[in-house]
Homo-oligomer: A and B are copies of this chain.
Amino acid sequence: MSALTCQTVRKISHMSLRIALLGLLSTSGPASGYDLTKMVDRSVSHVWHARHSQIYPELAKMAADGVITVDAQGPRGRKIYRITESGTADMREWLVHHPPSTAVRSEWALQAFLLPVLDPDEALGVLDRMRQSIRTTLAALEAAEGDYRARWAAKERPLGEYAFDLGLRHTRMLVQWVEDTEADVRRRAGAGPGGVRGTAGP
């Protein structure tokens, strides 16, 4: 097995887009670039965002590396890709052995980070925008939750139920953070320079 896959042993380390696509192909069955783009938009993009202009070239590279093959050709150059055994092995290897990078890059959190440079009223403006935005997201997720359970009940077994749960928890945490932070900014604005803020209620 190691002899057969030695070409693909290279750097499995990053290339998370590849892994995401392999994951989708492994549960959905054969699919085209267009199909995968839509699948990504509807599901994985909540955890790993990608555009079609990145997906098409990546699929070509994946086929060249043998982790997927062209299963069939449709009408207008439409290529249907299927995951290979080597692809399945790569994906499982990454999942089981790759310690996920903790490197974060979140504009949301960056704005939180920089909030103290603003005057209280400006900060409250930013927080207000955040609150509206995150409440919209929460509403969308809660609406999707019913749909999700229906698909589950219909035995569709969509990938990503745990990630969906994680997203929901994350969103609820953000709503709470925004509200607590707003309250804190207000309290301080009223009280002048005060003591240290509590970071979490009991």
Contacts and interface: CB of A to CB of B under 8 A. Distances in A.
Nearest to A167: B109
Contact of A26 (B26, B113, B117, B137): B117
Copies in the complex: 2
Contacts of A47: 104-106, 109-110, 112-113
A8 interface: no
Interface stretch (A15-23, A30-38, A55-63, A69-77): A15-23
Interface residues of A, number: 74
9 contacts: A44-B110, A47-B106, A109-B163, A110-B163, A114-B159, A165-B199, A168-B199, A169-B173, A170-B173
Given A47-B106, A114-B159, A168-B199, 9 more contacts: A20-B110, A44-B113, A48-B109, A91-B114, A100-B106, A113-B159, A115-B162, A165-B197, A169-B200
